[in-house]
């Protein structure tokens, strides 16, 4: 019997080829789960990328299975439709990984636009809250479940130039603890992970934001990594995914309401 056999999971923001969502969806399926991989589809490439996650899971002969569903987490109707589709396909929901997020357009506080604040709020916080709200009644009916929210080390401490991102990621930690307290009696656990620097599209896009004058991309990347205690290196998405699998499964059955840094000891004092 595999760790997550017969469990049903939804992963948001799972389409990007080098993202934590894709890596986690694959690992959940390898652990036996039936996985609904979702993402915002901006065009044909996004559709292909999302379908490719399902193909990868099938081609690995994962004991689990997967289907792809387009979901923009800023649209509550699409979230509700995804929950219905998941229940129709797999009979319920046990695990939700709220992974979708954005940091696009960050910069000096006085230059942050209204649109930037709005997008950060709607994707990073409201999208997470809406997905929890849609899924919790299904978990209650099933006798429990595990929700994992992807916050950030920026949800525990302050990184310059990321005010809107930081504010929403702190809020995700608060939301996680509130849900953990309110639904513990229903055997629903809710935890946040707080990754540091992860080598994904989003992680790499932040390198430019933090570049100092005259620095190459590689130099900036190395300088940022110098703050990581463990081998001064960035994390790979799979190193985050295995923590999500742990928080989804029975080995973490008495853990709820935590915000777990997965950051190689970066900012270990937080």
Q: Which residues are catalytic?
A: 165
Residue of 160, 201, 250, 253 that binds ligand NAD (CB under 6 A): 201
Q: What are phi and psi of 192, to 5 degrees?
A: -115, 145
* Binding of residue 197 to ligand NAD (CB under 6 A): yes
Stretch that binds ligand NAD, among 15-23, 27-35, 178-186, 244-252 (CB under 6 A): 15-23
Contact criterion met (CB below 8 Å) for 158 and 140: no
* Binding of residue 202 to ligand NAD (CB under 6 A): yes
Residue of 7, 8, 9, 13 that binds ligand NAD (CB under 6 A): 13
Residue of 152, 166, 176, 252 that binds ligand NAD (CB under 6 A): 152
Concatenating the DSSP letter of every residue in 182-206 gives HHGGGTEEEEEEEE--B-SHHHHHH
Q: What are phi and psi of 188, to 5 degrees?
A: -100, 120
Instruction: Find all residues with CB under 8 Å of 208, minimum gap 6, and list them.
Output: 217, 220
Q: DSSP code of 235?
A: B
Q: Give 74 or 184: the residue with its C-beta nearer to ligand NAD.
A: 74
Cα–Cα distance between 252 and 183 in angstroms, integer? Answer: 16
Of residues 159 through 188, those in contact with ligand NAD by CB under 6 A are: none
Stretch that binds ligand NAD, among 83-91, 178-186, 199-207, 225-233 (CB under 6 A): 199-207
Binding mask 16-55 for ligand NAD (x = CB under 6 A): x--xxx-----------------xx---------------
Stretch that binds ligand NAD, among 28-36, 193-201, 223-231, 244-252 (CB under 6 A): 193-201
Contact criterion met (CB below 8 Å) for 193 and 13: no
Token readout for 267 is 């900012």
Q: Give 20 or 35: the residue with its C-beta nearer to ligand NAD.
A: 20
Distances (CA, A) of 190 to 78, 132, 147: 22, 9, 5
* Binding of residue 242 to ligand NAD (CB under 6 A): no
Cα–Cα distance between 138 and 240 in angstroms, integer? Answer: 26
Q: Give 64 or 261: the residue with its C-beta nearer to ligand NAD.
A: 261
Instruction: Find all residues with CB under 8 Å of 267, minimum gap 6, and list them.
Output: 153, 156, 157, 196, 227, 261
Shortest distance (Å) from residue 212 CB to ligand NAD: 19
Cα–Cα distance between 78 and 74 in angstroms, integer? Answer: 8
Of residues 97 through 116, those in contact with ligand NAD by CB under 6 A are: 99-103
Contacts with ligand NAD by CB under 6 A lie at 12-13, 15-16, 19-21, 39-40, 71-74, 99-103, 123, 150, 152, 195, 197-198, 200-203
């Amino acid at each position: 019997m595999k760790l997550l056999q017969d469990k049903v999971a939804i992963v948001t923001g799972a389409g990007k080829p080098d993202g934590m969502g894709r890596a986690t969806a694959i690992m959940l399926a390898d652990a036996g789960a039936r996985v609904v991989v979702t993402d915002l589809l901006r065009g044909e490439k996004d559709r292909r990328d999302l379908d490719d996650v399902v193909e990868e899971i099938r081609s690995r002969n994962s004991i689990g299975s997967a289907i792809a569903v387009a979901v923009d987490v800023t649209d509550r109707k699409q979230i509700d439709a995804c929950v219905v589709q998941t229940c129709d396909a797999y009979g319920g929901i046990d695990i939700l990984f709220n992974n979708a997020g954005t940091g696009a357009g960050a910069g000096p506080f006085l230059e942050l636009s209204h649109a930037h604040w709005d997008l950060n709020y709607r994707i990073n916080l409201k999208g997470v809250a809406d997905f929890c709200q849609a899924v919790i009644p299904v978990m209650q009916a099933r006798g429990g479940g595990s929700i994992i929210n992807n916050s950030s080390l920026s949800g525990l401490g302050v990184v310059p130039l990321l005010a809107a991102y930081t504010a929403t990621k702190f809020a995700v930690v608060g939301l996680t603890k509130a849900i953990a307290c309110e639904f513990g009696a229903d055997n629903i656990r809710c935890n946040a992970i707080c990754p540091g620097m992860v080598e994904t599209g989003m992680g790499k896009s932040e390198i430019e934001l933090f570049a100092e004058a005259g620095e190459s991309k590689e130099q900036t990347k190395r300088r940022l990594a110098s703050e990581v205690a463990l081998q001064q290196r960035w994390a790979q998405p799979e190193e985050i995914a295995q923590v999500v699998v742990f928080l989804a499964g029975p080995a973490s059955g008495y853990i709820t309401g935590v915000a777990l840094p997965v950051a190689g000891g970066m900012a270990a004092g937080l």
